[in-house]
Amino acid sequence: MAVAAVAKGNKTKGNKTDLRSIVEHTKPVSLSVERCLPVLGELQGLFPTGGLQRGSVVELGGGAGITTLAMALLAGATKTGSWVATIGFEQAGGFEQIGWEAAEDLGVNLQHLAAVRCPARKWLTVVASLVESFDLVLCGPEVTPSAADLRRLRTRIRERGSVLMAIPHGRGSVAASEFRSPSSKARGWPGSDIRFEIQECHWRGLGSGWGNLGERRLKVAVDGRGSMNRQRVFEIDFDSRGRLQNSQLQNSQSVASSHVVGKPAVLPGKPAVIPDRSDARGAVDSVDLDRVG
Amino acid sequence: MGRPDPGGRPDPDAQNDSRVMGDSDVIRTLGICCAQWPAIASGLSWSVPVAVLRANRVVSANSFARSEGIVVGSTKREAQSRCPMVEVVEHDETRDARAFESIMGALEEVAPRWEVTEPGRCAVPSLGSSRYHGGDRPLADAVRRRILEALEENFGDAADLMGIGVAIVDGPRAAAVVAEEVACSEREYSSLSRAASPRRARGVLCLPHSGTAHHLAPLPTSRISAGGTGWGKTSELRDLVDILRRLGLKNLGRFAALEPTDVLARFGPLGRSAHDFARGAEHNRMVLGDISENFSVSSELDPPAEEVDRAAFMAKMLADELHEDLSSRGLACTRILVVAETELGDRIERLWRDEGTLSPTAIAQRARWQLDGWLSSGRTVSRTHGGVSRISLIPDQVVPDNGRQLGFWGESTENGERAMKALSRVQAMLGRSAVVVPEWQGGRAPAERYRPVPLETVELDARVGRNDTPWPGSLPPPAPAIVWPMPVSVQVLDSADRRVGVDGRGQITAAPEKVSLDGRNWNEVKSWAGPWCTEERWWDPEAHRRRARIQVVLINKVGEPDIEAAHLLALESGDWRLEASYD
């Protein structure tokens, strides 16, 4: 970082500025980068700080693809030694399991994952004790906080510097009459710092009676507080083995209006980045949205 | 070779004094190995072939199964193909330990203070006892006889009397290795005449004093990692063996011929202890004076614990305390005495060894095994009256901690320790089964591939990793992100609102058009593929399962037309079920 500053400084300003910038980078305060949990390289573009800000609450919403997105967001931190606890994924009488195999494909280090099954009335105490020691806690749809619970929890999370990710109620439960479509947005986690909303999810590889599921493209809207207050829309691609491939920023203005199903995701004036066919590890790469509609 | 008579040894008093270091200081040890302990502990009769599996690999098989060609390490499929009627049992360490406790109780009648390395393997310093029994052979015979009696008494039918090895040699580790060798070769030796091998009766081998190195010399270096799990981290030992092999040191004799100082310089303490073992010169590694008083921790339980969980939880807390105390002084414990006292003054103790330096989890796990054996087994009820009122942990052997390599930023281990603390708090709140971790098992259906195991039943670092060997009949990637353990029934209709089925030839009757969970809200099928039919265990009328799976991509036209949700549906005995979701 300091080297980069020197190189940059030589071109523009004098030596004092260089020194100042070096001092800036070497002084013993915690930089925002240090207060972040790393995410996978492919997802760094989603965060202005380059990672998940410690002490924040992340809410994931929208339709199909939430669990995959949550796992992809966790993966980077588990690889660098952080532990993750998952809670609230149990099915009535059983265990709504996160597909651990899929999680591993996305890059989650399963050696650093523990799943907690917890009765609904005790979840607050349990989550509160988990955020004390785990860097990441993923709350599933069975966890339903009240506003007061959340306030208390948020204080503790901020104090401890952990990250709480939540998949709100009304999506995960099969008891809901639909398949994973948002039934009630009001039951989310009010006041979360970052919100991810899945707007589109497209699959490739499946025909009528032939093929098998292959690549997937998610379109995710990200907004939040502070540096993230502007809503941005990303496209995230997964390859046919369920691995994260890349993410591209789309223009944020065109979220609701301009996108028409059946048209390629190319926006006026700014072509969407279609991943290079050569880097696709032998698989069919980018999602051809023409075929999808 | 030493004297032919194993009874006549140099002055035993000099050997008893552990502070004197030197080659005369070797610990004469009796080692026992029940090679296929998990198979015996499964409690199934020896008249059926039994294979015990962990992560789809056979870890143990009884003699019937072995005679059918099942070998340890083969896959389930391989085992079943060699012997279709094999009884397959899932491995359970707690069950093994509980069962072994009954044998330990019997062995204590022959000699006191056995140290257990793992269920199925134990050892005891034999000097005093062999004097009492009149020599090594009578002692070994008495021990073996007692084991066989105890096995028949406790397991009846299940007692597989093959594969029990008893050895008396120099050094505890050598004892474990030689006992294993004896146990594994018992079948061959039993067919030989006794005269051919005078020191070797069925399942018993007594090496003369200082004859151990000679016996070990022709064995391959890979035996360093034999002798059970208690002798160091398995991965580290395997690395050591690998290096030795590549250095051309193919057998233990050539390794033993190296200079001890060179070995220490090149391979560190782990190599040194392996070298001592190969030379038959293991001595007491106790480095401190009276450590037991300095470090032992104990706690009263009031009211006395009748159930294992409470006592084990206390043991865990004590183990944490002990570990903290030791590590703050740069020490680690390799052998620990777990003592439980009952309210009526009974005292039950067991010595546990683990050269991989016992971690708090390992100590707690051993305490739990021990208490499980005492409190749950019918036999011990007569021995212990009332609940456990006091638990003490006494480190019996303390060595300088050689240190662990922390993660590159010094953080990863610390993170793990913090996480473990939080999880044990959660367990205290919600019970032991509330925390699970994934362990690879492999299988066809998505729900079978990783299984949840309770946190305490696994050593976290030693979990079986995923292996991507092909599973015939499994679905191609991507893997589903949600797996429904209790599949939910769904309705699948074709364009004419008829139920979709799969015929006997594995053909779908009509293209699915819409799918619903509750019969009111319908999702349109955008695309689909399948059916993929599997027929599992067709030879077994009870476990037989016939399933057809399809993948569907659904759209809810009313709600979110842009969201395509992919699911895996399975048809079994006429009902469609939602098996997994590619969420």
Closest Cα in chain A to B439? A110
Buried b (16+ CB within 10 A) or exposed e, B485-516: eebeebebbbeeeeebbbeeeeebeeebbbbb
**pLDDT surpassing 50 at residue B380:** no
Is B521 close to A97, i.e. CB distance below 8 A?
Answer: no
Q: A-B interface: how many C-beta pairs under 8 angstroms?
A: 235
Predicted pLDDT of residue B236: 78
Which secondary structure element, helix H or strand E, spans residue B153, and what is its range? Answer: helix B136-155
Q: Is A134 close to B422, i.e. CB distance below 8 A?
A: yes
Asked whether B113 and B124 are in contact (CB, 8 A), the reply is yes
Chain A residues whose CB is inside 8 A of the B430 CB are: 116-119, 122, 126
Least Cα separation, residue B366 to chain A (angstroms): 22
ipTM: 0.74
- Distance CA(B350)–CA(B366), nearest Å, equals 9
Mutate to test the interface with B, among A74, A90, A97 (most CBs of B within 10 A): A97
> Inter-chain contact A115–B452, Cβ cutoff 8 Å?
yes
Distance of CA B264 to the CA centre of its chain: 30
**How is chain A split into domains, by residue range?**
1-30, 31-292
Would strands B50-54 and B87-90 be described as parallel, antiparallel, or unpaired?
parallel
Q: Do B529 and A132 touch (CB under 8 A)?
A: no
Q: Which residues of A touch B423 (CB under 8 A)?
A: 85, 114, 116
pLDDT of B502 > 70? The answer is yes
Contacts of B418 in chain A (CB under 8 A): 83, 133-134
Whether the CB-CB separation of B140 and B156 falls below 8 Å is answered with no
Whether B304 and B394 map to the same domain: the answer is yes
Cβ(A153)–Cβ(A145) below 8 Å: yes
- Model pLDDT for residues B52-70, shown as the tens digit of each residue: 988 778 888 888 888 888 8
Smallest CA–CA separation between B274 and chain A, in Å?
29
Indicate whether B370 belongs to any domain.
Answer: yes
Whole-prediction pTM: 0.61
Q: Please, which contacts does A226-233 make with residues 24 or more away whose CB atoms are closer than 8 Å?
A: A226/A193, A227/A48, A227/A49, A228/A47, A228/A48, A228/A193, A228/A194, A231/A255, A232/A46, A233/A199
Q: How many domains, in total, are found in chain B?
A: 2
- Residues A109-163 have pLDDT tens digits of 888 899 998 887 888 889 988 998 899 999 887 777 778 888 888 888 988 889 9
CB count in 10 Å sphere of residue A16:
9
- Quick: pLDDT tens for B221-241: 888 877 666 677 777 788 888
Instruction: Say if B1 falls within a structural domain.
Output: no
CATH no. for residue B322? 3.30.1490.100
CA distance A31 to B155: 64
> Taking CB atoms and an 8 Å cutoff, what residues of chain B touch A132?
422
Q: What pLDDT score does A278 carry?
A: 38
A116:B430 CB<8 A: yes
Give the chain A residue whose CA is nearest to the CA of B568.
Answer: A213
Which of B400, B415, B430 delimits the end of a domain? B400
Q: Which domain holds residue B497?
A: 482-582
Which of these three, B368, B384, B400, is where a domain ends?
B400
DSSP of B386-448: S-EEEEEEEEEEEEE-------TTS-HHHHHHHHHHHHHHHHHHH-GGGEEEEEE---SSHHH
B206-210, B327-331, B553-557, B574-578: which has the minimum mean pLDDT?
B327-331
Q: Do B477 and A103 touch (CB under 8 A)?
A: no
pLDDT of residue B328: 81
Q: Do B479 and A99 touch (CB under 8 A)?
A: yes
Pairing of strands B388-400, B331-342: antiparallel
* Residue B559: band (very low, low, confident or very high) from pLDDT cuts 50, 70, 90: low
Alpha-carbon distance B561 to B89, whole Å? 48
Question: How many residues in chain B?
Answer: 583
Examine the pLDDT at B379 and tell me if it is beyond 50.
Answer: no
pLDDT, average across residues A214-220: 91
* Domain-ending residue, one of B400, B421, B450: B400
DSSP B75: B
Cβ of B415: how many Cβ atoms within 10 Å? 19
Average pLDDT of the residues in B251-259 = 90
- B390: in domain: yes
Q: Which fold, A31-292?
A: Rossmann fold (3.40.50)
Judged by CB atoms closer than 8 Å, whether chains meet at B426 and A177 is answered as no
CB contact (8 A) between residue B523 and residue A179: yes
> Nearest to residue B484, comparing CAs of A284, A89, A126, A19?
A89
- Tell me, what amino acid is at A105? D
Residue B8 maps to a domain: no
DSSP code of residue A276: P
Cα R_g (chain A), whole angstroms: 21
Q: Do B151 and B40 contact (CB within 8 A), yes or no?
A: yes
CB contacts, 8 Å: A203 with chain B = 527, 553, 564, 566, 582
**Interior CA angle at B392 toward B391 and B394, to 5°?**
160
Q: Is the pLDDT of residue A37 over 70?
A: yes
CB contact under 8 A, B529 and A209: yes
Asked whether the beta carbons of B532 and B549 are under 8 A apart, the reply is yes
In chain A, residues with a C-beta closer than 8 Å to the C-beta of B502 are none
Would the CB atoms of B455 and A94 count as touching at under 8 Å? no
The answer to whether position B450 is within a domain reads no
**What local confidence, expressed as pLDDT, does residue B291 receive?**
53
A93 chain-B contacts, CB cut-off 8 A: 486
Tell me the CA distances in angstroms from B326 to B108, B330, B352, B390, B399, one per residue in order. Answer: 30, 6, 17, 21, 10
